[in-house]
Chains A and B, each alone.
Chain A
Amino acid sequence: MVLPVKESAESTKVICIVCPKGCILEGRRDERGVTIQNGCPRGQEYAYRELQNPCRIVTTTIAVRNAALKRLPVRTSLPFPKRRIPELIDFLHTLSVEAPVRVGTVLMENLLGEPGVHLVATRTIERKSPSRETERQT
């Protein structure tokens, strides 16, 4: 499979994680573009993306106010560019939300300008109640 080259890439090894086989694919650059060696079509597609712009789902926590819990777990709705993850984490450290929050709520759209990548709450957190309830959760 020969793919067009977008940025200068030297021979790079990619461990494919699409299936448990874990093939090692090699991306090589020549005058025709990036050639991915070894692997099946699905793996080659993965390796191509890994060489172009690897992305990951990012999960972390942000501060939450007026809740019995201190941290709200969050995720990106779609994979986010790997090289910008440290920047994203630093940014998320500055955020805080007010309870109650429901799981699935979009807290912020287009994170750091990445189109379509939103910040989503992954847990429902109620507002802190003055007396702790033990009997039935609602």
Chain B
Amino acid sequence: MPRRVKAQVVVIGGGPAGMASALAAFENGARPVFLLERGEYLGGILNQCIHPGFGLHLFGEELTGPEYAERFKEKLSRTQVEVLLNTTVLEITPQRIVRAVNPQGVWEFETTRAVLSMGCRERTRGMLRLPGTRPAGIFTAGLAQYLVNIEGLLPGKEVLILGSGDIGLIMARRLTLEGATVKAVVEVRDSLSGLLRNYVQCLHDFNIPLWLSHTVTTIQGKERVEGVVVSRVDEGGRAIPGSERVVPCDTLLLSVGLIPENELSRQASIPLCPRTGGPVINEYFACEREGFFACGNVVGVFDLVDYVTLVSQGVGEAVNIPTAFSPAKYHLVPGDGVSLVIPQKIQEGKKGFLFLRSLQSFRQAAVSFSFQGKEFHKLRVPLCYPSEMIRLNIQDIPWPSQGGEIRIGITGERIRGIY
């Protein structure tokens, strides 16, 4: 027999998003609040991100991932938020019954508010359809990070990294420091995906080459990776015949993107956004199903943990706001040059943050808002990079008096190369 528990708030996932929303819900008077985490520890992905670069916006100092997590773990331990570790949520029903299992047995929470904060997972080789044999030695960058930083294991000695996002860059440095040779970072696009600062401190500092407009076309080796074939790609991203070169290596790291983890959201019949891969939400981060909120990387991939904390604190407050699930007036859609818009729905336009991600790097950029084909607001941004979300205050935008679809585009002078 499962243990039946009634709750006001159940938070699923104990990363930075779950910790901040559970804390804020508790501080705003919600009782009881449960925080369910399948791992042995709170902190989520932060535990393995031992590099500095967290907390500058929120704390005004540069913390490492574990330090950032510790601040919230400590705060939580001073509240009566019920933290259940080693507790995996298996199912959530549309009526907000949360079924979970841990070493003590099966649990069934009947909750007024459910907060989804399961984070994201990494894209794997299968999703890339890389041809070649299936030898050992192929890892996602995040798995390699876990092995090195948590388990103290080195995944290989000679490494090639596919993808120039921040995780790939950070792992290039980490593996080099631990004694591996990183042969190159290979990027299919014609510009750097990660932050310039990570390029300088992770590749340039260690003389690791970055090959833009290149991709991995074949993996060689039977038991273990012995080499990979790298080819140049044309404007359309197709490999150019005759440009192949073989790079001998024993390890290939894939740093090719993250996908929000939404199996549970699907089960609960929560509408998802095809662009972000996460639930459709409004400015309260309320989903399009009564009683459900979502925050952090489960909504869409946030690169700055500070922003994750900020929106999650908002969710903790919103669990007590009865109008959080009222119908939306505006529907935001990504236009040209924009890859991501969060939130997708807005009720009144009076509170909250709007996050945008550009598709490419631009100089002298402009963010343009249009309604019924006419631009009603324009904002200049000197520089914008896909690796850094643009954060705007929703109330600063002069929303049209009539509701409907709002298209948001970004134009500017394309930046190619590293910067």
Task: Known A75-B64, A132-B103; judge A56-B419 contact (CB<8 A).
Answer: no
CB atoms of B70 and A103 under 8 A apart: yes
Cβ-closest chain B residue relative to A50: B200
Complex Cα gap A138–B77 (Å): 6
User: Quick check: which of A2-10, A25-33, A61-69 contacts chain B, the rest being far away?
Assistant: A61-69
Q: How far is the CA of A15 from the CA of B86 in the complex (A)?
A: 45
Proximity string of chain B (64-94) to chain A, C-beta cutoff 8 Å, 1 when within and 0 when not: 1011011001001100001111110000000
Please tell me if the beta carbons of B150 and A136 are within 8 angstroms of each other in the complex.
no
Contact present for B200 and A123 (CB under 8 Å): no
Chain A residues lying within 8 Å of B151, measured Cβ to Cβ, are: 70-71
Contact partner of B104 among A20, A104, A124, A134, CB < 8 A?
A: A134
B103–A137 CB distance below 8 A = no
B84 touches A134 (CB 8 A): yes
> Does the CB pair A20–B383 fall under 8 Å?
yes
Bound form: Cα–Cα A89–B179 in Å:
10
- Tell me which residues across on chain B come within 8 A of A104, comparing CB atoms: 67
**Complex-state Cα separation, A135 to B3, whole angstroms:** 14
Given A70-B151, A73-B149, residue A60 in contact with residue B50 (CB < 8 A): yes
Does A20 contact B67, Cβ atoms closer than 8 Å? no
The distance in angstroms between the C-alpha atoms of A5 and B196, with both chains bound, is 28
Residue contact B82 to A136, C-beta cutoff 8 Å? yes
Contact bitstring A49-88, B, C-beta under 8 A = 1, else 0: 0000000110111010000111101010000001001100
Would you call B52 and A17 a contact (CB within 8 A)? no
B40 interface hit (Cβ, 8 Å) = yes
Q: Which residues of B contact A124 (CB under 8 A)?
A: 70, 73
Report Cα–Cα, A56/B197, bound state, in Å.
Answer: 12
Q: Closest CB of chain A to B186's CB: distance in Å?
A: 21
Q: Which residue of A lies closest to B71 (CB)?
A: A103
For residue B84, which residues in chain A have a CB less than 8 angstroms away from its CB? 134-135
Most chain B CB atoms below 10 A, which of A59, A68, A103: A59
Instruction: Say if the beta carbon of A22 comes within 8 Å of chain B.
Output: yes
Q: Which of A20-42 contact B (CB under 8 A)?
A: 20-22, 24
Q: Is there an interface contact between A22 and B196, defined as CB atoms closer than 8 Å?
A: yes
Neighbour of A20 across the interface among B47, B50, B388, CB < 8 A: B388
Would you call A44 an interface residue if the criterion is a C-beta within 8 Å of the partner chain's C-beta atoms? Answer: no
In B142-164, which residues have CB < 8 Å from any A CB? 149-152
Q: Are B67 and A103 in contact (CB under 8 A)?
A: yes
Q: Which residue of the partner chain B has the closest CB to A14?
A: B200
B201 within 8 A of A: yes
| A123 touching B196, Cβ below 8 Å | no
B102 at the interface (CB under 8 A from A): yes
Contact size range, A = 20 to 34
In the complex, which residues of chain B have a beta carbon less than 8 angstroms from the beta carbon of A22?
196, 419
Give A55 Cβ to nearest chain B Cβ, in Å.
11
With the chains together, A15 CA to B385 CA distance in Å? 17
> Contacts A21-B383, A138-B77 hold; do A75 and B52 have CB atoms under 8 A apart?
yes
User: How far apart sit A33 and B137, CA to CA, in the bound complex (Å)?
Assistant: 50
> Complex formed: what's the CA distance from A61 to B204 in Å?
23
- CA–CA, A86 to B176, complex, Å? 10
**Which residues of A are found within 8 Å of B104, using beta-carbon distances?**
134-135
Contact A68 B40 (CB under 8 A): yes
Partner of A123, one of B47, B52, B178: B47
Which residues on A sit within 8 Å (CB–CB) of B200?
15, 17
Would A56 and B201 count as touching, CB distance under 8 A? Answer: yes
B42 at the interface (CB under 8 A from A): yes
**What CA separation (Å) do A61 and B178 show in the bound complex?**
10
B105 to chain A, nearest CB (A): 11
Query: How many angstroms between the C-alpha atoms of A73 and B54 in the bound complex?
Result: 15
CB of B102 within 8 A of CB of A134, answer yes
B224 part of interface (Cβ distance < 8 Å): no
Residues of B within 8 A of A61 (CB): 50, 149, 152
Interface residues of A in 117-138 (CB under 8 A from B): 122-124, 132-138
Complex-state Cα separation, A57 to B54, whole angstroms = 13
CB distance from A44 to the nearest CB of B (A): 16
Chain B residues near A86: list those with CB within 8 A: 177
- When A and B form their complex, which 6 residue pairs have the shortest distance between CB atoms, in order from nearest? A22-B419, A123-B66, A73-B50, A17-B197, A103-B70, A71-B152
Given contact pairs A75-B64, A103-B67, enumerate 18 new A-B contacts (beta carbons under 8 Å). A17-B196, A21-B383, A22-B419, A56-B201, A57-B62, A70-B151, A73-B50, A75-B50, A75-B67, A85-B177, A104-B67, A122-B66, A123-B70, A124-B73, A134-B86, A136-B83, A137-B42, A137-B85
Could you give 7 example pairs across A and B, Cβ below 8 Å?
A: A15-B419, A20-B196, A71-B151, A73-B50, A73-B64, A75-B67, A135-B104
